[in-house]
Amino acid sequence: MLPLAPEGYPFIVIPALAGIVVFAFGFSGLAATMWLVALFCVAFFRDPARISDAPVEVIVAPADGTVLSVGSAPAALAALGLPQQVSIFMSPANVHVNRAPISGTVREARVVAGSKFPAYRDKASELNEHSFVVLDGALGTVAYKQIAGSLARRVVCDLAPGRGVTRCQRVGLIKFGSRVDLFLPASAAVLTAPRQRTRAGVTEVARFHRIES
């Protein structure tokens, strides 16, 4: 059976049942549309198992999608010691479950209300509804934002301050199209580039400088 994110069940069950009801009343065309919506939601909310066996210093992608840009982070993030930014755009066809880029402890986790600009636009990172999570790991600190887009209606963040996470662990999702920005320290070596495809919890996007004992 295809693993599904629990958040998707209402979006799957409601149109599927509605299709059965309208079919019973003879509206076969409308019923087919309802069932297609349900199938789309099954595909959208799929939650495949992921495992990372990369070395401990590797930072993995927090999202499935395509790298939109690699560059400098906003001043507020640079002030936190995270001056590098990798943005991953998630189309409706991508898996939308997000995963922890490193193992560590949640220093900060919050969801900020905002606008619904297209997720690929630069101002979406600051003005759209988003989560902001800071993770302190054994080799360094990273942060990420789950950013809602013009179709995405809600960010789901499963984390809270003080909670421990393991790299590749499921940490939330964004409903119906979105973007994730990953913020890195200056010492981290970025391993990705624009237009690269990523898989959450698997693709190596950066690497901490590991100090050998």
Instruction: Tell me, yes or no, if 178 is annotated catalytic.
Output: yes
Owner of token pair 């297209």: 118
Which residues neighbour 119 within 8 Å (Cβ) at sequence distance 6 or greater?
89, 90, 128, 147, 148, 149, 150, 152, 177, 178, 179
Residue 29, H or E segment: helix 28-44
DSSP state of 119: T
Catalytic residue among 28, 125, 178, 187: 178
Tell me how many degrees the CA angle 15-65-5 measures, rounded to the nearest 5: 40
Residue 14 φ/ψ, nearest 5 degrees: -60, -55
Point out the residues that are catalytic: 178
